[in-house]
Structure 1
Amino acid sequence: MSAKMAFDLLCDISLASRGWKIRARIARMWDYTGTANDVPPMHVDLVLVDEKGNAMYAEIPGVEADKFRPLLQESKVYTFSKFLVLPSKPAYKPFPNKYMIKLTPWTNVEQVNEVPADFPSHVFNLVQFSDLSQRVGMQEYFTDVIGMIIGVSKLAYVRMASKTSDTPKRVIALRDLANCEVKLVLWGEHALDFDADAVHSVGQDNVVVGIFVGTLMKAYNKTLSGGSACKWYLNEDIPEINQFFDSLGDSAPKIQWISAGAKSFGSSQRPAQLEHKSVADLKKIDPWEAAGAGFSSTVTIAKLSPSQSWWFSSCSRCHRAATAYGSSYKCYSGCSSVTAIPKYRLCLIGTDGTDSAEFVLFGRVAQQVVGRPVMNLIKFQGRSDNIPKEIAAVVS
């Protein structure tokens, strides 16, 4: 068997690649840090493409990021050996591959200097605008789209509920060949990196067509959201972009300045000071009378609720609880999704000396408290009733 393996053959194997090598270009690379900013990555994600155009997702564990980050560069071609081939993760996948690559401390990486001119450079699975509504809330796969830019916004800063500092935000309006329109919101460093002034200037006399990859379709106003996994290609010599230009009519609108919609996503100002209450006072509040009100309370976590698991299976579309149903899942809300991903559900008993109460933390909020993604803990603990040490450490 040849020492160099093509992805189409490699994807049928799920074991350590003893002695095998693959040659692939890094089409995309990004750091995943969860909801935190300016922290070491939990893992570094790669989209690899081989000479035949086959694509595969690869992951560098956070503990190995400092070792491999200086060795790798986006768009370069490398030979990889001594890696693992594992079942693909259940969520945030660039494409529906069955397997993924995971680099190990023993993985060898060598840059390839002589690369054929026809070696593929781009990887994407374009979704029609008319089909985007079916992807609202879907977290299993990222969404890739192509469209003509008809509007861009100035940079705005907003305060999100899960953040402790303001987050940069920029809005881009896209239109497809069927005149369907959608807005894409870029966040964080991506909002800063997108040169809206240059795009607006070019768009006064020329059409700007872009492919945006690694986005998610959000339920709020049905907008695309571009975070750390997002990347764009504007007016590049890519067949899909060239075909889009060929299909355009004689006239196209100039790119306009549009609103960043800061108020729609929350004020950039710090929230008003919440009234502080003891746990005893909180338990006396009538929820019907205090609907919509917020309070603060300082408690010590006395223990974990013994009656609840620290994670649950969440429907990939509506995020409600789901249960295993044969080889797929069935959503309790009755939606048509048959896939689910694990999510945090931390049930904590907190006390301040006046009384005790149960506080339930879900998803990102729980991850901020624990400090690690739920999938990381499940991988190491298995799907048992044991409490991971990272969660046990929350007590007291």
Structure 2
Amino acid sequence: MTIKKSQGQTLQKVGLYLPKSGNTMQATIRKHDVEHFKQILSEGNVYVIENFNVIPSRDKYQVVNRKYMIQISNWTNIVEIKDDAASIPFHIFSFISFDNIRNKRHDDGCLLDVLGSIAAISPIYYTYVGQDLTPLRNLEMQNAESDTFSVTLWNKFVLDFDDRQIHENKATGPVVVVFASMSVRIYKEKLQLSTYSASRFYINLHIPEVATFQDALQQRQMPVGPIQYIEVAEQASLTPYEQISSNRKTITELIKLDPIESQCYMQNTKYTCEAKLVKIDTTYGW
């Protein structure tokens, strides 16, 4: 078996390639065993793995669509091997089209692999998730039919996304990006792909699927235009605690606000209110 970079990022969720069957399978490591296996396992290396459990796969966020997965524990025996390592493919994906992504709107069962050219990039911006100031970045991917799809990078994926590499590759042709193990999210009623802890991305990866995609662009004689710039709205610099205390109003004060007289002042202004929830009216649904 080999640990696949394309199928898992953290040791708690690992993708395996099974050379005899040519299939992939997900493996999981119990939380209290992770530190032990960090010293043993490295992504891309080939191992013989013995004495493991086979358990049902979880219902959500599978990196490989299988009914069962392997559970590695402290009694599992793992030995690295060097022979025949080159015969095992380093990257394995199950690519999905943009149209089929739209059918996954409410399906978190299996994370998705997708590829396309980069059409637009936003600058890095930050927002608070809980009490943590979190970096984000927006992208627009484009398929061979010129359809686009939005992607949001979070946390370490934002910092790992190298602008210089993108623009250097753009000088020689379209920049093709592979996103592996992505989740589907809805933001402001718009469907988008979002990075997950197990996600990976690759720029102009040397695999047949990327070569086929590049050939399709050439056959369609699609012009390679500059990567567009995505503007982002100015983000609040206040912490969640500071936002709670900012512009605090009572319900009476909110009712008395005159939206016409205060239109200039109220534009893009947020108010906070401390109140007790006494009833939920579900007449028109949730």
TM-score, length of structure 2 as denominator length: 0.79
Name the SS of the counterpart of 1:215 in structure 2: strand
- Pick from 218, 227, 236 the counterpart of residue 267 of structure 1: 236
Shift of 1:115: 2.8
Q: Which residue of 2 aligns with 1:29?
A: 8
| Whole-angstrom distance in 2 between the partners of 1:296 and 1:143 | 41
Deviation at 1:233, TM superposition (A): 2.0
Task: Find the aligned partners of 1:152 and 1:204 in 2 and give their Cα distance.
Answer: 16
AA matched with 2:149:
V
In structure 2, how many angstroms separate the alpha carbons of the residues matched to 1:200 and 1:138? Answer: 34
Q: How far did residue 140 of structure 1 move?
A: 1.1
1:258 counterpart = 2:215: no
Write the mapping of 1:305-384 to structure 2, written as runs, cut at 5 A: none
AA aligned opposite 1:230 = S
Deviations 1:243-276 (A, max 9, x none): 10111133222223323x355xx6343242348x
Contact 1:154 1:196 in 2 (8 A): no
TM-aligned CA distance change 1:132 to 1:29, over 3 Å: closer
> Does the CA-based 8 Å contact 1:138-1:216 persist in structure 2?
no
1:61 aligns with 2:30: yes
CA deviations over 1:301-329 (Å, ceiling 9, x no partner): xxxxxxxxxxxxxxxxxxxxxxxxxxxxx
Distance 1:149 1:140, change over 3 A: same
Rounded Cα–Cα distance in structure 2 between residues aligned with 1:294 and 1:111: 59
Equivalent-residue separation in structure 2 for 1:199 and 1:218 (angstroms): 25
Q: Aligned match of 1:295 in 247, 250, 274?
A: 274
Q: Which runs of 4+ in 1 moved over 4 A?
A: none
Which residue among 135, 151, 154 is the counterpart of 1:168?
Answer: 135
Match of 1:241 among 176, 192, 210: 210
Which of 38, 42, 48 in structure 1 is aligned with 2:16? 48
Aligned match for 2:78, one of 100, 105, 109: 109
Q: 2:123 aligns with which of 143, 148, 154?
A: 154
What is the Cα deviation at residue 131 of structure 1?
Answer: 1.9
2:8–2:199 contact (8 Å) kept in structure 1: no
Structure 2 partner of 1:76: 45
Q: What is the SS of the residue equivalent to 1:90?
A: coil
Contact 1:126-1:145 within 8 A present in 2 as well: yes
Whole-angstrom distance in 1 between the partners of 2:112 and 2:53? 26
Alignment pair present for 1:197 and 2:164: yes
- CA gap 1:262/1:269 in 2 versus in 1, 3 angstroms: farther
Match of 2:155 among 188, 198, 203: 188
AA in 2 matched with 1:153: S
Give the CA deviation at 1:116. 4.1
User: Which structure 2 segments of 5+ residues have no match?
Assistant: 257-270, 277-284
Aligned length: 253
Q: Whose relative contact order is higher, 1 or 2, with alpha carbons under 8 Å and at least 6 apart?
A: 2
Deviation at 1:25, TM superposition (A): 3.5
Structure 1 counterpart SS, 2:8: strand
Deviation at 1:123, TM superposition (A): 2.3
Change beyond 3 A, Cα 1:75–1:262: farther
Name whichever of 121-130 and 43-52 sits farther off.
Answer: 43-52
Partner residue of 1:122 out of 88, 91, 101: 91
1 CA distance for matches of 2:82 and 2:175?
Answer: 33
Deviations 1:112-155 (A, max 9, x none): 11234331212222111122221124211111111011122222
The 1-side partners of 2:185 and 2:131 are apart by 22
Letter in 2 for 1:148: S
Structure 1 length-normalised TM:
0.58
* Cα deviation 1:346-375 (Å, max 9, x = unaligned): xxxxxxxxxxxxxxxxxxxxxxxxxxxxxx
Q: Is the 8 A contact 2:105 2:191 kept in 1?
A: yes
Q: Distance in 1 between matches of 2:59 and 2:150?
A: 27
5+ residue gaps in structure 1?
Answer: 1-22, 32-42, 298-332, 334-396
* Inter-CA distance 70–199: structure 2 relative to 1 (3 Å threshold): same
Are 1:177 and 2:144 counterparts?
A: yes
- Residue 260 (structure 2) aligns with: none
The DSSP-based 3-state class of the residue aligned with 2:118 is strand
Which residue does 1:393 correspond to in 2? none
Shift of 1:227: 2.5
Q: What secondary structure is seen at the aligned counterpart in 1 of 2:78?
A: strand
**Residues 24, 49 of structure 1: 8 Å contact kept:** yes
